[in-house]
Amino acid sequence: MAKLSRREARERRHKRLRQRVVGTAARPRLNVYRSLHHIHAQIIDDSIGHTLVSASSVEPELRAKLGSTGNKEAAKEIGLAIAERAKEAGITKVVFDRGGYIYHGRIASLAEGAREGGLEF
């Protein structure tokens, strides 16, 4: 059996997680994607397949506020931004989907920022 690349292993973990983590209308899914330079977060209702709220370090207004877009401070700001936008949309409780990444570093910082912003998960 061939050894999996890091990306393939993450995708496999994410598929395994998604069997249990499902977003509903009452409790949508907070999905996280992390690249080398940026971090993205979306709140998704899987029952209808729509993204309800999103925030990303690529957005010009958030990027201007951030010095670097690929560190833990930026991830925390994205977490605060997604929580603020979720509140405006009437969302208070979510299910956290870490996207196959380990709960450490930027992923944990984004979750911490979202919790500080008022999201419950």
Domain that holds residue 13: 6-116
Q: Cα torsion at 52, 57, 62, 64 (round to 10°)? A: -160
1: in domain: no
Digit-coded pLDDT (tens) for 68-92: 998 999 999 999 999 999 999 999 9
Report which secondary-structure segment, H or E, holds 63.
Answer: helix 60-65
Number of domains in the chain: 1
Q: Are 69 and 37 in contact (CB under 8 A)?
A: yes
| pLDDT of the residue at 1 | 62
Average pLDDT, the chain: 94
121: in domain: no
Measured distance CA(25)–CA(72) in Å, rounded? 30
* CATH code of 62's domain: 3.30.420.100
Q: At what angle do helices 72-88 and 106-116 cross, to 10 degrees?
A: 40
Q: Are 28 and 95 in contact (CB under 8 A)?
A: yes
Query: Average pLDDT of 32-54?
Result: 95
pTM for the predicted model, two decimal places = 0.90
pLDDT band at 101 (very low <50, low <70, confident <90, very high): very high
| pLDDT of the residue at 12 | 94
